[in-house]
Amino acid sequence: MDLIANNKRDVKKSDGNGTLLSVRNLSTHFFTEEGIVRAVQDVGFSIRRGRTLALVGESGCGKTATALSIMRLVPAAQGKIVGGQIVFEERNLLDLNEGQMRAIRGNRIAMIFQEPMSSLNPVYTVGDQIAEAIKLHQKKGRKEAWADAVEMLRAVGIADPQRRAREYPHQMSGGMCQRVMIAMAVSCEPVLLIADEPTTALDVTTQGKILDLLGELQRQTGMSVLLITHDLGVVAQRADDVAVMYASRIVETAGSRRLFAEPGHPYTQGLWESLPRLGFKGRRLRTIPGAVPEPLRFPAGCKFHPRCPKGRSDNRCRSVEPELREVEAGRCVACWYARGYEDKA
Amino acid sequence: MTTYISRRFLYTIPIVFGVLLLTFVLFTVVGGDISVELAGKGASGETIDEIREEYGLNKPLFLAWDSQFINHFKNALTFNFGRARDRELVIDKIKRGVWPSLALTAPMLVGVVVISVSLALVVASVRGSLWDTLAVVVCIAGMSIPYLGFVFFGQYFLAYKWGLFPVFFRPDLTTAQNVALPVLIGIAAGLGGNVRFYRTVMLDEMRSDYVRTAYAKGLSRGRVLFKHVLKNAMMPIITRVAMTAPFLFLGSLLLERFFGIPGLGYLMVEAIGARDYSVISAITFIGAILFVAFNLVADVCYALVDPRVTLE
Amino acid sequence: MNEQGQTIEARPGKGAGLWLNAVRRLCKRRLAMVCLGVVIVYFLLAGFVYLAEMFDWRVGPTRWGEEVGQSYAPPSSRNLLGTDIFGQSVLRKTLYGARISITVALFASLISIAIGVPLGAIAGYFRGFADEVIVWIYSTLSSIPYVLLILAFAVVLRDKTVLGHRLTGVAAAYLAIGLTSWVGICRLIRGEVIKHKDREYILAAVSYGCSRRRIILRHLMPNLFHIVIIDFSLRFVAFVHAEVILSFLGLGEPNRPSWGAMINDARMELSRGVWWQMAAATAAVFLFCLALNIFGDALRDSLDPKLRIQ
């Protein structure tokens, strides 16, 4: 635990209200055989220091693409960031060259992925893989980096870290691999950790433990977390702020409690209502009719309108896409019918 | 590790047995009684019987202690391959042919592997660009040209027309001079398919999740390719190298025939023309043994490269 | 129409969908289509020559060893590709050579599929002793370098009588290639069957009492078909090459022209500066194999998207 607490937090680099990362109008397109997939369109949200923002949405809505765009890990042959700004520590990441970006990856911004077992290199020991990041960013020698790696394993709750560091990923369980990934990510003390569905591939008990671990690390280091998930339970428990994503766009952002108490966008409302709840007896579970649109065949106007009870028959919803507007302090919605939306035009 | 090696070794025993069975069935059972041919035209019945006696062809095929199969088995394992049609000991012929063949095939193997893997890495790193497409096209073209096509270009242009290399084997030249052009041709012929395959392997590996993690850690493309991707690609590379071994035989066959190099390939071609079953059978057996040994070495390399292998 | 009155698109059944999709994707690639055209031309040529011989249409010389004209004439307006030692037109020989190569490769493919697919299915499905034996057989075969193996078979089979028929050169060639080359497809099929065997749809079929033979034929085979096709198109090239080598070494058909034999003749010719036979034969093989390779690749890409490279 000492290792993590022993960091030199540079708290100067954020703007007045403690915003660490500010994404504005981010758009990313992917090139496929069937056409251009607009996976991320006009996406905007902010993450504050030390807070956790949950990016919620169904599979295929563009959450992972957004995360990869922030890290600028979109392979050039597959896709391209076509617009927007990603302001991190007062710099627009999209203006940086590759070398500068590499200095940030794994160092100031780190990322962990969904499938921990395949995300680790099977032919190197876990100790080697953690030490690699340390050697790269902190310029430490082999022995020192190895010692640090072992310490990191201990810090993420792996027993007998000396022995484990010499093991290979296939010798470990899924939960342990995810801990290793976390150790690797946090080893250089990043200020932002992007966690792309970190617990989806794990069983329920392990899920809780991993999330607890993330929470603990966050408390100790003050790092922010961008938590990408489709699990509303996780959002309710762990997130400070929430951004809801649908069909490549952000449809709503708000503080977590506010959002659960009073969802503003019909999609969010539909999601909440479809959750089974204690006390619901004998009534059919409500669902959102229809299905998520395919990226190559997005509907015109508001992307949610075909499934929306209000927007389905509304001409405006069918033809004009509502932009994301701040309807009150700390809450943004993209819906013509949202309370307070018209006034803020 | 030693248990792993011994296990792999034990596995080769039924294979060797199978090979011996196959060569026996093929050359003795299907091939039939060649004593008539060996005796020559117009030979008397006595001569034919004598030959039968000498070659042991009058013994029962399988079901006796002294059967032909048992003898075949025993002989092969002691490298006693009998005599060729010209009465020389087969084993002597083989001993003579080993060095020239080796001088030809060993450089070919090393050259092909080293150059293809390097080229594949380079091509994989510029994936998606025009160079990549060009490389793929060249590779497919190279794969489609029959081996003999390469021999043609090499021998006709480089040796005959432009005189850069000797057209045929000449005993007065050094081994290097005699072997240079065939080796070049062999390498050129092997590049197409190999580079394409290794490129596919590299690209496949590059799509893995752990590569994404490596980039997310901030590693440069060179590091990711050479440290992470290459080591994982070693498994299929080793497999492919082991599979490339048979083509050394092909190369040796064709190149030795075209250039007149007196190696095992040349021996084989002569034996085919003369229907010399004992020579052909012997070379087939040796070829199989070499191949099996090659694969064993490859298995050991697997274990060295990939930690998942020994722990099965 | 669903409850809200919206129309839902009707989509074709999944089985038909895979093939239609594949064919559609394939047709979009013009290069692949061009190559398919080239391949078809070769096949038609081979078929034409085959039929011409069978029905004795007398379109070409019946005896290729006859001296008919000037030896080794270089390419000219009369003989577009020059002549060989007997004065026979090289162009004609090249065109006729297609027949040998393609028929040998075709028959060899059929033989190797006929042996490899059933053996692979049996080995994969029944496992146990049958599997051990079959694996042992093909491991043995694959331990002998391909070239040596084919040569060994070809030498032995030549001039032998099988079931009362005397084996001609061509027959010995395709038997030799076919009997030795089934290993690849056998392995592939076996691997796939093992993978599919424990899938739910097979377990479902077993649970409602499907006989084993029915399971193999009706449930497994359709899923393996695309592998057979891909393997066939890739192997064909190898078989053509193998035939060329056999002819080159004198183990092919002695009485008819073939590309391999032409190349063999060229061996001595090259040192005299006569290059046209070698060039023609090599070019013919090259063009065919190139077209087949490209088409085979495109075929594989459209049938098995997982194997696709960006």
> Amino acid identity, residue B24?
F
Of A77, A289, A290, the CB nearest to C310: A77
Max avg pLDDT among B124-138, B183-197, B237-251 = B183-197
Q: How many angstroms separate the Cα of A157 from the Cα of each of A151, A209, A237, B74, C64?
A: 10, 10, 21, 63, 83
Q: What is the pLDDT of residue A139?
A: 87
Instruction: State mean pLDDT over A54-80.
Output: 88
Test mutation, A113, A118, A119, A196, chain B, max B CBs within 10 A: A119
Q: Is the pLDDT of residue A39 over 80?
A: yes
Q: What is the pLDDT of residues A112-131, one digit of tens each?
A: 998 898 899 988 999 999 99
C-alpha closest to that of C250 among B270, A117, B26, A156? B270
The answer to whether the predicted template modeling score (pTM) of the entire model surpasses 0.80 is: no
Q: Is the pLDDT of residue A82 over 80?
A: yes
**C106 vs B67, residue with greater confidence:** C106
Interface partners of chain A (CB pairs < 8 Å, 3 or more) are B, C
Question: Which residues between 129 and 168 in chain C have a beta carbon less than 8 angstroms from any beta carbon of chain B?
Answer: 136-137, 139-141, 143-149, 151-153, 155-157, 160
Q: How many angstroms separate the Cα of C187 from the Cα of each of A343, C139, C175, C184, C304?
A: 70, 10, 20, 5, 18
Asked if C81 reaches chain B (Cβ–Cβ under 8 Å), the answer is: no
Q: What is the pLDDT of residue B227?
A: 87
Q: Do A78 and C6 touch (CB under 8 A)?
A: no
Instruction: State mean pLDDT over B223-252.
Output: 81
Q: Do B217 and A106 touch (CB under 8 A)?
A: yes
**A157 vs B173, residue with greater confidence:** A157
Per the CB < 8 A criterion, the answer to whether C176 and C249 are in contact is: no
> In this structure, is the dihedral angle defined by the CA atoms of residues B118, B120, B121 and B127, taken in order, positive or negative?
positive
Chain A residues with CB-CB distance to B215 below 8 A: 73, 105
Test mutation, C151, C246, C276, chain B, max B CBs within 10 A: C151
Q: Is the pLDDT of residue A6 over 90?
A: no
Share of chain A above pLDDT 70, in %: 94
> In this structure, is the dihedral angle defined by the CA atoms of residues B169, B171, B172 and B175, taken in order, positive or negative?
positive
Q: What is the pLDDT of residue A87?
A: 92
Instruction: State mean pLDDT over A334-342.
Output: 84
How many CA atoms within 13 Å lie on the side-chain side of C293?
24
Test mutation, C2, C3, C6, C11, chain A, max A CBs within 10 A: C6
| A1 confidence band (pLDDT: 50, 70, 90) | very low
**Helical H segments across A6-89, by residue range:** 63-71
| C19 confidence band (pLDDT: 50, 70, 90) | low
Q: Is the pLDDT of residue A242 over 50?
A: yes
- The encoded tokens of residue A193 equal 């950790």
- Phi and psi angles of residue A109, each rounded to the nearest 5 degrees, phi first: -120, 130
The DSSP bridge partners found for residue A53 are A226, A241
Cα–Cα distance measured from residue C298 to residue C309, given in angstroms and rounded to the nearest whole number? 11
Test mutation, A30, A31, A33, A294, chain C, max C CBs within 10 A: A33
Q: Is the pLDDT of residue C17 over 80?
A: no
Of C3, C4, C310, the CB nearest to A78: C310
Provide ipTM, 2 decimals: 0.85
**Helical H segments across chain B, by residue range:** 2-24, 35-39, 45-55, 68-77, 90-125, 130-144, 147-152, 175-206, 209-216, 221-223, 230-259, 264-273, 277-305, 307-310
- The encoded tokens of residue B125 equal 């790193």
| B62 confidence band (pLDDT: 50, 70, 90) | low
Distance of alpha carbon B147 from its chain centroid, rounded?
Answer: 14
Per the CB < 8 A criterion, the answer to whether C113 and B233 are in contact is: no
Q: What is the pLDDT of residues B122-149, one digit of tens each?
A: 888 887 778 888 888 888 888 877 777 7
For tokens 């060009």, what's the residue?
B134
Q: What is the pLDDT of residues A141-195, one digit of tens each?
A: 899 999 999 999 999 989 999 999 999 998 999 899 999 999 999 998 999 999 9
> In this structure, is the dihedral angle defined by the CA atoms of residues C74, C79, C84 and C87, taken in order, positive or negative?
negative
Interface partners of chain C (CB pairs < 8 Å, 3 or more) are A, B
How many CB atoms neighbour CB A206 within 10 A? Answer: 17
Cα–Cα distance measured from residue A140 to residue A134, given in angstroms and rounded to the nearest whole number? 7
Q: What is the DSSP letter of C164?
A: T
The string over C237-259, giving b where at least 16 C-beta atoms fall within 10 Å of a residue's C-beta and e elsewhere, is bbbbbbbbbbbbbbbbbeebbbb
Instruction: State mean pLDDT over C102-119.
Output: 90
Of A76, A106, A181, the CB nearest to B218: A106
Q: Which of A198-207, B75-84, B231-240, B287-296 has the weakest average pLDDT?
A: B75-84
Q: What is the pLDDT of residues A294-334, one digit of tens each?
A: 888 888 888 888 888 888 888 888 888 888 888 888 889 98
Element containing residue A194 per DSSP (H, E):
strand A192-196
Per the CB < 8 A criterion, the answer to whether A183 and A152 are in contact is: yes
Measured CB to CB, residues of chain C less than 8 Å from chain A are 2-4, 6, 310
The DSSP bridge partners found for residue A46 are A22
Those residues with Cβ within 8 angstroms of residue B11's Cβ, 6 or more apart along the chain or in another chain: none
Nearest chain C Cα distance for residue A287, angstroms: 13
Q: Which of C103-107, C204-208, C244-248 has the weakest average pLDDT?
A: C204-208
Q: Do B284 and C137 touch (CB under 8 A)?
A: no
Cα–Cα distance measured from residue A149 to residue A136, given in angstroms and rounded to the nearest whole number? 13
Q: Is the pLDDT of residue C42 over 80?
A: yes
Chain C residues with CB-CB distance to A290 below 8 A: 4, 6
Q: What is the pLDDT of residues C169-190, one digit of tens each?
A: 778 888 888 888 898 889 888 8
Q: Which of A306-315, B8-17, B302-311 has the weakest average pLDDT?
A: B302-311
**C307 vs A300, residue with greater confidence:** A300
- The encoded tokens of residue B138 equal 């060249």
